[in-house]
């Protein structure tokens, strides 16, 4: 029995379409909802009770094959029975009704939940975890860890000076820091003030918000197909690495850390080679810059490995996660990254045991059902199907993500055509997302199988035919 059949015996065999999307009920609901919630970004209103497995059901009863999955954050499909069991458990009820201030009064089972859950899939070398609430929160806490670590190092482990203690209360140097976090062009790391300062995806994400004047380095723009442009791409990556090193060497203040996504997702599904990431690791090590890998979108198995950077054979100092894990935070190894004193990396909740329980269940299922193998195999299959479409339609450009599980994307010649394609797919019963200005990204759950890949590629091909 296939994975999806065993989880979801009642999963639809194909998309079921009853109305236009959004249909009359969705539209009516959206109009009502608009009185209490900003609905300008809403695609349709979802009936989560009737969504199942790889199919998302809308308020009109349309069932769409979902290859977007709540912006890449649903790992095991909708209403997964094992997650339902966890949600129904007494453990969950206790976690929900007695949410602890975890750093001060951790629960008896928190160690076990972390150990059997998140830490059992910690990337090699990073055996400690700090839990948080969202991807932005995780990244900003990682920045804090890096900044405090570097400052403590500079201070030589000595106590704060009187001047530091006074000036920091006025947001002035030397107590406040002029160290910076470096990020890459087109990066997306979140939308709070520190994380947004490292986000460089689109103006709409950044306008009108005060930002730190932090440096950015170029991210390679690879040409596809990779086999055809090997030399050019290698030169492009080398150029980017060279620029990175120049920025680090010449920057007027200390760069505490560099943050990078293993695949830039919001920014357009921009990939780079293992050599590029190894190059960054070497340069950051050489210049005493910590390396933070942001696995918020790429992590959780979608690439066929638990964390996408594991395709590259690099070990960062810190790795952040959220989305598919349903729990956010960062892994690290160096003890000093927890802060040289207690109550520095601290907040009321420091995470949420109810989310840690969900993460543990998701991780357990990834192992039990060998979902990474499914992702790898189905991903390869899906790529080959899309490759065949790209051979047929000139409008499918830059197909990428080969060998990266479901982390597949392609471009269209213009943003307008991309939006048209997304619309056509939706009409045909496929929920699919865009990224960057003209990219289309695939983000199905880990329970997406060949039969779903067949349906997806059939719909995508039909949609291309209609452009």
Task: Show which residues are catalytic.
Answer: 188, 294, 323, 348
Three-state DSSP class for residue 180: strand
The answer to whether 410 and 433 have CB atoms below 8 angstroms apart is no
Would you tell me how many other CB atoms lie within 10 Å of the CB of residue 316?
A: 31
4 or 80, CB closer to another protein?
80
- Asked if 93 touches another protein (CB under 8 A), the answer is yes
What CA dihedral angle connects 222, 226, 232 and 233, to 10 degrees?
A: 40
- Asked if 108 touches another protein (CB under 8 A), the answer is yes
Which residues 283-322 are close enough to bind another protein by CB under 8 A?
A: 322
Draw the binding track, 376-415, toward another protein (x: CB under 8 A; -: no contact).
----------------------------------------
> How far is CA 147 from its chain centroid?
23
- Asked if 129 touches another protein (CB under 8 A), the answer is yes
Nearest Cα residue to 425 out of 65, 81, 126: 65
Token pair 């948080």: residue: 132
1 or 204, CB closer to another protein?
204
57 or 244, CB closer to another protein?
57
Nearest Cα residue to 318 out of 305, 303, 302, 307: 307
192 or 417, CB closer to another protein?
192
Q: To the nearest whole angstrom, how small is the minimum distance from the Cβ of residue 282 to another protein? A: 26
Q: To the nearest whole angstrom, how small is the minimum distance from the Cβ of residue 349 to another protein? A: 6
> How far is CA 219 from its chain centroid?
17
- Asked if 375 touches another protein (CB under 8 A), the answer is no
Distance CA 104, CA 347 (A): 10
- Asked if 157 touches another protein (CB under 8 A), the answer is no
- Asked if 20 touches another protein (CB under 8 A), the answer is no
Alpha helices in 210-343 (DSSP H): 230-250, 274-286
Question: 289: alpha, beta or left, given left = phi > 0 and alpha = psi -120 to 50?
Answer: beta
Scanning 42-50, 238-246, 298-306, 379-387 for contacts with another protein by CB under 8 A, the matching segment is 42-50
28 or 275, CB closer to another protein?
28
10 or 178, CB closer to another protein?
178
The answer to whether 79 and 51 have CB atoms below 8 angstroms apart is yes
225 prior amide bond cis, ω within 30 = yes
Q: To the nearest whole angstrom, how small is the minimum distance from the Cβ of residue 295 to another protein? A: 14
Q: To the nearest whole angstrom, how small is the minimum distance from the Cβ of residue 285 to another protein? A: 22
Distance CA 413, CA 411 (A): 7
Looking only at the bridges linking them, the beta strands covering 55-57 and 128-132 are unpaired
Q: Which of 2, 16, 18, 111 binds another protein (CB under 8 A)?
A: 111
- Asked if 153 touches another protein (CB under 8 A), the answer is no
DSSP per residue, 395-420 = T-EEEE-TTSTT--EEE-SSHHHHHH
- Asked if 221 touches another protein (CB under 8 A), the answer is no
Nearest Cα residue to 131 out of 149, 147, 113, 146: 113
Which residues 169-198 are close enough to bind another protein by CB under 8 A?
A: 169-172, 175-180, 190-194, 197
Scanning 114-122, 218-226, 284-292, 447-455 for contacts with another protein by CB under 8 A, the matching segment is 114-122
Task: Give 315's contacts (C-beta < 8 A, 6+ positions apart).
Answer: 123, 124, 125, 126, 281
Distance CA 112, CA 133 (A): 20
Token pair of 293 as six digits: 């890998």
Q: Which of 4, 43, 376, 438 binds another protein (CB under 8 A)?
A: 43
- Asked if 45 touches another protein (CB under 8 A), the answer is yes
- Asked if 339 touches another protein (CB under 8 A), the answer is yes
Q: To the nearest whole angstrom, how small is the minimum distance from the Cβ of residue 225 to another protein? A: 29
Scanning 39-47, 282-290, 386-394, 420-428 for contacts with another protein by CB under 8 A, the matching segment is 39-47
Draw the binding track, 355-374, toward another protein (x: CB under 8 A; -: no contact).
---x----------------
Q: Which of 15, 65, 137, 408 binds another protein (CB under 8 A)?
A: 137
Distance CA 291, CA 142 (A): 10
Q: Which of 27, 278, 315, 345 binds another protein (CB under 8 A)?
A: 345
- Asked if 203 touches another protein (CB under 8 A), the answer is yes
Q: Which of 7, 67, 121, 133 binds another protein (CB under 8 A)?
A: 133
């Amino acid at each position: 029995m296939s994975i999806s059949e065993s989880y979801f015996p009642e999963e639809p065999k194909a998309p079921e379409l009853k109305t236009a999307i959004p249909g009359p009920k969705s539209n009516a609901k959206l109009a009502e909802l608009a009185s209490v919630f900003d609905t300008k970004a809403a695609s349709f209103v979802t009936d989560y009770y009737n969504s199942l497995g790889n199919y998302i059901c809308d308020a009109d009863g349309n069932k769409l094959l979902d290859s977007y999955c709540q912006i890449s954050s649903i790992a095991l499909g909708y209403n997964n029975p094992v997650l339902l069991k966890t949600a129904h458990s007494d453990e969950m009820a206790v976690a929900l009704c007695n949410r602890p201030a975890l750093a001060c009064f951790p629960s008896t089972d928190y160690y076990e939940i972390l150990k059997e859950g998140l830490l059992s899939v910690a990337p090699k070398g990073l055996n400690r975890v700090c839990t948080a609430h969202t991807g932005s929160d995780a990244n900003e806490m990682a920045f804090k860890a890096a900044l405090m670590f570097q400052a403590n190092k500079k201070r030589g482990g000595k106590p704060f000076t009187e001047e530091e203690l006074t000036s920091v209360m006025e947001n002035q140097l030397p107590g406040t820091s002029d160290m910076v976090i470096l990020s890459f062009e087109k990066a997306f790391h979140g939308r709070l003030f520190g994380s947004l300062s490292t986000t460089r995806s689109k103006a709409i994400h950044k306008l009108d918000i005060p930002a730190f004047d932090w440096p950015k380095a170029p991210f390679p723009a690879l040409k596809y197909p990779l086999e055809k442009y090997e030399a050019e791409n290698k030169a492009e990556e080398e150029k980017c690495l060279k620029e990175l090193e120049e920025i680090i060497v010449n920057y007027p203040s200390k760069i505490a850390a560099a943050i990078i996504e293993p695949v830039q997702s919001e920014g357009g599904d921009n990939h780079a080679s293992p050599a590029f990431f190894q190059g960054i690791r070497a340069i950051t090590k050489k210049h005493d810059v910590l390396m933070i890998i942001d696995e918020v979108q790429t992590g959780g198995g979608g690439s066929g490995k638990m964390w996408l950077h594991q395709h590259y054979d690099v070990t960062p100092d810190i790795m952040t996660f959220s989305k598919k894990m349903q729990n956010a935070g960062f892994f690290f190894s160096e003890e000093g990254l927890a802060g040289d004193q207690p109550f520095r990396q601290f907040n009321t909740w420091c995470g949420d045991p109810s989310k840690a329980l969900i993460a543990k269940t998701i991780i357990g299922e990834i192992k039990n059902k060998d979902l990474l193998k499914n992702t790898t195999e189905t991903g390869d299959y899906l790529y080959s199907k899309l490759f065949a479409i790209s051979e047929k339609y000139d409008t499918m450009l830059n197909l990428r993500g080969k060998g990266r599980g479901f982390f597949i994307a392609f471009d269209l010649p213009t943003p307008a055509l991309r939006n048209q394609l997304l619309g056509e797919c939706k009409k045909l019963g496929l929920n699919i997302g865009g990224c960057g200005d003209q990219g289309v990204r695939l983000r199905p759950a880990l329970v997406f199988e060949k039969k779903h890949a067949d349906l997806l590629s059939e719909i995508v091909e039909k949609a291309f035919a209609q452009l």
